[in-house]
Amino acid sequence: MDGAAFRALRKSVSSYHPVSDVTWQALCDICRVREIPRGHILYRCGEVPASFAFVYRGLFRVYVTDDKGNEYNKNFFDEGKYPGAMTALLTDSPSTASIEALEDATIITIAFKPYRELLAESNDLKMYHIRYLEQNWLLAKDAREIEIVQRDATQRYLHFMDEHGSIATRIPQYHVASHLGITPTQLSRIRKSLA
């Protein structure tokens, strides 16, 4: 399993920018394969994280909780994605969100401080990092912000299905509703009207 997980990680990294064998080995040295059970909180709100992860197998949600205990799903991470409390990592401060396994999962954790050191000395890893951030944080975040203010609930649901259709059946519908900013009842009505 470890070998397959690391091959998947290298394929993911290379899809953004190839890294040399030397850089790859240095990256592997700061990584660890972990098995995560369904329901486990990988990174908890209020804690300062020390790593981020690569999902080899499984599904995670990132959520925030308001002062009344209501949960709001910000994002979902399935195979090939990188869940992490990135703002907390960058600022060395407690996370404002939690990341929970929705399925049993196999991940590779990447120690953040050694990763940043490696990033500073490896131009090929820098290029990977830049391209990853451009595609997955800047462009995706901009699209999500526009979607929330300009689309109605039905349009947001249809967009969600376009973007996440491959994992939609793996996510409980109340989590989908939370991600869309609507109630489960509203989501049920939308799904019935589209059927």
Per-residue pLDDT tens digits for 120-150: 999 999 999 999 988 876 666 666 566 665 6
Domain membership flag for residue 155: no
Question: If you average pLDDT over residues 167-175, what whole number do you get?
Answer: 88
Which helix (H) or strand (E) segment holds residue 133: the answer is helix 123-133
Domain membership flag for residue 188: no
Where residue 109 falls among pLDDT bands split at 50, 70, 90?
very high
Domain membership flag for residue 38: yes
pLDDT digit string, tens, across residues 24-56: 999 999 999 999 999 999 999 999 999 999 999
Question: Dihedral of the CA atoms 84, 89, 91, 94 (nearest 10)?
Answer: 80
Domain membership flag for residue 115: yes
Lookup: tokens for 30? 């700061």
DSSP state of 139: I
**Which of 11-15, 28-32, 59-63, 178-182 bottoms out in mean pLDDT, i.e. has the lowest?**
178-182
Domain membership flag for residue 127: no
Q: What is the residue range of 11's domain?
A: 2-121
Domain membership flag for residue 76: yes
Comparing CA positions, the residue from 77, 71, 68 lying closest to residue 97 is 71
CB of 180 within 8 A of CB of 153? yes
Count: domains in the chain: 1
- CATH number of the domain to which 111 belongs: 2.60.120.10
